[in-house]
Amino acid sequence: MSLNKLGLRYFRNIEAAELIFSDNFNIIYGDNGAGKTNILESIYYLSLARSFRTTQPRKLIQLNQDYLQVVGTKESVVLGIQKSVSGVQIKINGERIKQASRLTTLLPVQLIHPQSHELLEQGPKQRRQFLDWGVFHVEPTFLPLWHDYSHTLKQRNAALRQRQANDYIQLWDARLIDSGEKMTELRLAGLKKLQSHIDRYSLALIGQKIEVAYRPGWAREQDFANALNNSLDQDKHYGFTRVGPHRADLVFTCKSNRVQDYLSRGQQKLLICALRFAQIKFLKEEKNEDVILLIDDLAAELDKQHRMKLIEIALETGAQIFVTTNQLNLLGMKNSIEHKVFHVEHGQVTEVVQ
């Protein structure tokens, strides 16, 4: 199912917009600063109740306004978020809900943007989030386990900061180990299935196979229970739990070399696309769920040949695609590809009749 309609009110520089999308491919074009990325950001916000551009939600609300509103229609389901200075209201078919994860389940989104290379170059948090996206969507038990683990971890860390006795600190260990080991099993199973899709799309886009290794967050020669016990003294010294799946990481290699050292920046961008495409196909195969693919500034750092190849493979995933560009001719869209075009100028969004 696709996102059929999107209504915006006071979202960044877009005062009001009512858009009806193609189920297949949507192009959003305009000058830099016109508000193209704001449309992608609003769709992302509707899925995850957070932005990919700022950690300060107040910045999403148009200047001199008290709230923003994003409403999307997916077949017969209406999703809505209203954010004001006093809080957030989330509704599905008019019913107010508390868990933003219900939006994510109904509106799965993958994002490619100019900072996507940070997945490879920054710390492990983004790589864990990348892996957990697929596991969350295909394994209903993962989110409750993650919540239980996170809650228990906070309790253990609080005991460490308060310099409680060892016996009190270790009261939390059994529960932490149980949920942590189950999370790790689900992550490993998800990665095993995802690897074949990563192979397929990395070969298609960069002509190389990429190996992905999972580091669980503790030394491989130990199990979690032993690692937790052995790290107790250091945990007490630092005031937090230093081992566990909250410290897990993914390592991407090509011919035994870290991809950050082996691949060019352009190849790394294509690899990021391959990873996102792999998640889309993984979810389609496992749950027959359709995904929304957001690509901000598709033309950046890619020549015409690679742009055309990327579009062709993106379409093959079956995702509903939204692409921003400042020049339509950079995409080279074929007339045979069903699509819609939207022009953005000073926050005004207009559908361009083909």
The arithmetic mean of pLDDT across residues 79-85, rounded, is 96
Tell me, what's the pLDDT at 334? 66
| Average confidence (pLDDT) over 163-172 | 97
Written as one string, the DSSP assignment of 194-240 is HHHHHHHHHHHHHSS--EEEEE-SS-TTS-HHHHHHHTHHHHHHHTS
Once rounded to an integer, what is the mean pLDDT over residues 176-205? 97
Q: Over 90: is that where the pLDDT of 354 sits?
A: no
How confident is the model at residue 314, as a pLDDT? 94
The burial of 261, by beta-carbon neighbours within 10 Å (0-12 exposed, 13-18 middle, 19 or more buried), is given as: exposed
Per-domain boundaries in the chain: 1-108+290-354, 121-287
What was the pLDDT predicted at 230?
A: 96
pLDDT at 329 over 80: no
Q: Write the single-letter amino acid at 335.
A: N
**pLDDT for residue 308:** 87
What rounded mean pLDDT belongs to the chain? 94
* C-alpha span between 274 and 91 (Å, rounded): 33
pLDDT classification of 332: cutoffs 50, 70, 90: low
On the CB side of 191, how many CA atoms lie within 13 Å of its CA? 24
pLDDT range class, residue 232, cuts 50, 70, 90: very high
Give the model's confidence band at 304: pLDDT under 50 very low, under 70 low, under 90 confident, else very high. confident
Which CATH number is associated with domain 1-108+290-354? 3.40.50.300
Beta strands 249-254 and 211-215, pairing class = antiparallel
User: E strands, the chain, where?
Assistant: 5-11, 14-20, 25-29, 67-74, 77-84, 87-92, 95-97, 109-112, 211-215, 249-254, 257-258, 292-295, 320-325, 340-345, 348-352
Phi and psi at residue 147, to the nearest 5°: -65, -45
Please tell me whether residue 151 adopts helix, strand or coil conformation: helix
Out of 90-104, 176-190, 323-337, least confident range: 323-337
Residue pair 60/69 in contact by the 8 Å Cβ criterion: no
pLDDT of residue 299: 72
pLDDT at 3: 97
Q: What is the per-residue pLDDT for 335?
A: 67
Buried/exposed code over 87-111 (b: 16+ C-beta within 10 A; e: otherwise): eeebeeeeeeeeeeeebbebbbbbb
pLDDT score at 220: 86
Q: Cα–Cα distance between 292 and 110 in angstroms, integer?
A: 6
Q: Is the dihedral of CA 117, 137, 181, 171 positive or negative?
A: positive
Contacts of 169 (CB under 8 A, 6+ apart): 156, 159, 160, 232, 235, 236
Q: Dig out the tokens for 111 from the structure.
A: 């994002």
**Least confident range of 64-73, 263-272, 280-289:** 263-272
Give the pLDDT score at 191: 98
**Please, are residues 267 and 273 in contact by the beta-carbon 8 Å criterion?**
no
Report residue 245: phi and psi, to 5°.
-65, -15
pLDDT surpasses 80 at 130: yes
Q: What mean pLDDT do residues 335-346 have?
A: 88
Secondary-structure class of domain 121-287 per CATH: mainly alpha
